[in-house]
């Protein structure tokens, strides 16, 4: 649904909205916002709200710091939770970022995704549909209200209360999201203790990326209200499953789902196979964007249902890409490596550009792997053409730097800032000496 300026002004009056929060996402995936009282609504709606871009990580140099926020009117919504102390409500708008010269800003992740979506349209596709399955942990807060890593329950996959102590929080998350217009398909306890998943209906990529950012905000807000801390950190506790964000994807044309071909033995079209070929081709390069933290690589290890190798399968959940059994309009590819620390705009831009490159070059995927890859040895894997995903953030960043398709998908501005920031992050991590190291080496050497 989209709104006109006049409709938004009317809703703001009718619903007693006191503040307008204009949000955007920085290069590293953090949600930023500028909040103004509704007296400033005209300025916001007329694309005249400014902010200082030089104060945002990975944005601009000081001398080009004035930026405009252009709200996307279709993203208007009122936060359904009460604000402290007064009755007025808070509404939000997601914005695109423009320079002082009123050009789209090259460092805006939403702009990067828009650009690749324009390429997809040029290739004849009307939509890149994306449905994600974000997972998160609920942890207890301590007496001071700070997060701990103490698990709040002993539940497992699809368990019920009383083992699933997060059930009430999860229900409130679902109800809140529904009030905000999300169509929730499922919500359940995940495999690990204290771990949850909420699935909402797929949407066209830009809206899907916006939804992911909104989703994280809602989960964190509702968890807090209930005395818990929600985290999307990929591997908060060693030895149990980490949190992923499986990403289901399909391309549509005006005739419907372009991944469908009922005459194929798997029901997949040439477009789907070539898209998959592109995903496999560029997987090592887009991993830095899909898994952008040091901690991401602690999830991508064998034994915890997360992928480690570049491969695909129809029947098996160990490879990086799975073809879920649903057919018809639900025909899709599921990319299982992505985790919720990914900036959804740049990650989807990179993934889509990879798939489009596969379509353009008619890349054929390797044969599917229908046995458990973790049980294959290195020689068997090599014979099957299965390669490894990067195993550290630094290795992933190097792969990204070397891939022109993925780098140009996010644009040189974002690529440079991102690579620079991630190298610093990795160095900072390397300078830290962990308990594992002192346990392993202190007495042995």
- Interacting residues toward ligand ADP by CB under 6 A: 129-131, 133, 185-186, 199, 201-202, 246, 248-250, 257, 324, 329-330, 332, 334
Judged by beta carbon, residue 75 or residue 248, the one nearer ligand ADP is: 248
341 token code pair = 């620390």
Find the distance separating the first CA and the last CA of the chain, reported in whole Å.
65
Q: Answer for the pair 124, 130: CB distance below 8 angstroms, yes or no.
A: no
Q: Is 6 one of the annotated active-site residues of the chain?
A: no
Q: Name the minimum Å distance from CB 207 to ligand ADP.
A: 12
Question: CA dist 412 to 67, 389, 408, 433, Å?
Answer: 19, 23, 6, 34
Q: Is 45 helix (H, G, I), strand (E, B) or coil?
A: helix
Single out the catalytic residue among 111, 196, 282, 336: 336
Q: Which of 317, 362, 364, 412 is catalytic?
A: 317
129: partner contacted, choices ligand ADP, Mg ion, none (Cβ within 5-8 A by kind): ligand ADP
User: Which of 52, 142, 183, 362 is an active site residue?
Assistant: 52
Q: Interface with Mg ion includes 108 (CB under 5 A)?
A: no
Q: Which listed option, Mg ion, ligand ADP, none, makes contact with residue 402 (CB within 5 to 8 Å by class)?
A: none
Q: Which is nearer to Mg ion, 232 or 426 (CB)?
A: 232
Based on the residue annotation, tell me whether 305 is a catalytic residue of this protein. no
12 binds, among Mg ion, ligand ADP, none (CB under 5 to 8 A by kind): none
**How, if at all, do strands 228-231 and 127-141 pair?**
antiparallel
Residue 57 among the catalytic residues? no
> Which of 17, 75, 94, 133 is in the footprint of Mg ion by CB under 5 A?
133
Partner whose footprint covers residue 332, from ligand ADP, Mg ion, none (CB < 5 to 8 Å by kind): ligand ADP
Give the Cα separation of 66 and 212 in Å (integer). 27
Whole-angstrom CA distances from 365 to 24, 313, 374 are 36, 11, 20
Residue least distant from ligand ADP (Cβ): 131
Q: Which residue bears the tokens 């496999």? A: 280
Handedness of CA 417, 423, 426, 428 (dihedral sign): negative
Closest approach of Mg ion to the CB of residue 206, in Å: 22
**CA-CA distance, 257 to 330, in Å (whole number)?**
8
User: Between residues 241 and 250, which has the closer beta carbon with respect to ligand ADP?
Assistant: 250
Look at the block and give the residue holding tokens 């009122």: 78
Q: Is 197 in the site for Mg ion (CB under 5 A)?
A: yes
Judged by beta carbon, residue 134 or residue 390, the one nearer ligand ADP is 134
Q: Is the dihedral of CA 375, 377, 378, 379 positive or negative?
A: negative
Q: How far is the CB of 133 from ligand ADP (least distance, A)?
A: 5
- Cβ–Cβ under 8 Å, residues 265 and 367: no
Active site residue 72: no
Which residues have a Cβ under 8 Å from the Cβ of 431 and sit 6 or more positions away? none
Is 248 or 354 the residue whose CB approaches ligand ADP more closely? 248
164 near Mg ion (CB under 5 A): no
DSSP 390: P
Residue 299 and residue 238: Cα distance in Å, rounded?
A: 9
Q: Could you give phi then psi for residue 194, rounded to 5 degrees?
A: 70, 5
Among all chains, which residue has been given the structure tokens 């098996």? 316
**Residues between 30 and 69 with contacts to Mg ion, criterion CB under 5 A:** none
Burial classification of residue 445, based on how many CB atoms lie within 10 Å of its CB (0-12 exposed, 13-18 middle, 19 or more buried): exposed
Nearer to Mg ion, 107 or 319 (CB): 319
Q: How far is the CB of 208 from ligand ADP (least distance, A)?
A: 8
Check if 52 is active-site.
Answer: yes
Q: Which does 163 bind (CB under 5 to 8 A by kind): ligand ADP, Mg ion, none?
A: none
Cβ distance to ligand ADP smaller for residue 59 or 202: 202
**196 is a site residue for Mg ion (CB under 5 A):** no
Number of H helices, E strands in the chain: 13, 18
Whole-angstrom Cα distance, residue 38 to residue 40? Answer: 5
In angstroms, what is the minimal distance from the CB of 135 to ligand ADP? 10
Report in angstroms how near the CB of residue 326 gets to Mg ion at its nearest.
Answer: 12
Which of the listed partners (Mg ion, ligand ADP, none) does 185 bind, with a CB threshold of 5 to 8 Å by partner kind? ligand ADP
CA dihedral for 158, 161, 162, 166, sign (positive or negative): positive
Q: Cβ 246 to Mg ion, closest distance in Å?
A: 4
3-state secondary structure of 216: helix
Nearer to ligand ADP, 192 or 249 (CB): 249
Interface contacts to Mg ion, rule CB under 5 A = 133, 197, 246
Question: Active-site residues: which are they?
Answer: 52, 133, 135, 190, 197, 246, 317, 334, 336
């Amino acid at each position: 649904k989209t709104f006109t300026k006049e409709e938004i002004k009317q809703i703001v009056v009718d619903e007693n909205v006191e503040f307008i929060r204009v949000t955007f996402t920085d290069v590293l995936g953090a949600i930023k916002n500028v909040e103004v009282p509704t007296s400033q609504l005209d300025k916001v709606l007329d694309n005249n709200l400014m902010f200082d871009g030089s104060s945002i990580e990975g944005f601009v140099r000081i001398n080009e710091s004035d930026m405009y926020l252009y709200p996307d009117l279709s993203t208007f919504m009122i936060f359904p939770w009460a604000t402290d102390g007064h009755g007025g409500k808070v509404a939000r708008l997601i914005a695109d970022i423009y320079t002082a010269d009123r050009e789209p800003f090259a460092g805006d992740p939403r702009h990067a995704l828009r650009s690749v979506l324009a390429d997809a349209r040029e290739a004849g596709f009307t939509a890149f549909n994306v449905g994600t399955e974000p997972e998160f942990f609920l942890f207890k807060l301590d007496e001071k209200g700070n997060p701990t890593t103490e698990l709040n329950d002993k539940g497992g996959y699809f368990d019920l209360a009383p083992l699933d102590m997060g059930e009430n929080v999860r229900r409130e998350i679902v109800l809140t999201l529904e009030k905000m217009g999300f169509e929730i398909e499922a919500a359940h306890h995940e495999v690990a203790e204290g771990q949850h998943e909420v699935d909402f209906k797929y949407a066209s990529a830009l809206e899907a990326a916006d939804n992911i950012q909104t989703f994280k905000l809602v989960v964190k807000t509702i968890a807090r209200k209930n005395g818990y801390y929600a985290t999307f950190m990929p591997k908060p506790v060693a030895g149990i499953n980490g949190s992923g964000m499986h990403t289901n994807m399909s391309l549509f044309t005006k005739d419907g789902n372009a991944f469908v071909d009922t005459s194929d033995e798997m029901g997949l079209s040439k477009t789907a196979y070539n898209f998959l070929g592109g995903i496999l081709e560029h997987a090592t390069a887009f991993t830095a964007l899909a898994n952008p933290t040091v901690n991401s690589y602690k999830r991508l290890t064998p034994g915890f249902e997360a992928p480690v190798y570049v491969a695909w399968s129809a029947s098996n959940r160990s490879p990086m890409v799975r073809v879920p059994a649903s057919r018809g309009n639900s025909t899709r590819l599921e990319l299982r490596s992505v985790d919720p620390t990914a900036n959804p705009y740049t990650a989807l831009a990179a993934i889509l550009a990879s798939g489009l490159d596969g379509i353009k070059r008619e890349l054929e995927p390797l044969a599917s792997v229908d046995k458990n890859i973790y049980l294959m040895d290195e020689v068997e894997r090599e014979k099957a053409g299965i390669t490894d995903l990067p195993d550290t953030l630094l290795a992933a960043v190097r792969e990204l730097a070397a891939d022109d398709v993925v780098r140009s998908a996010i644009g040189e501005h974002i690529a440079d800032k991102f690579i620079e920031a991630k190298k610093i992050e990795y160095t900072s991590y390397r300078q830290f000496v962990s308990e594992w190291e002192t346990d392993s080496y202190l007495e042995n050497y």
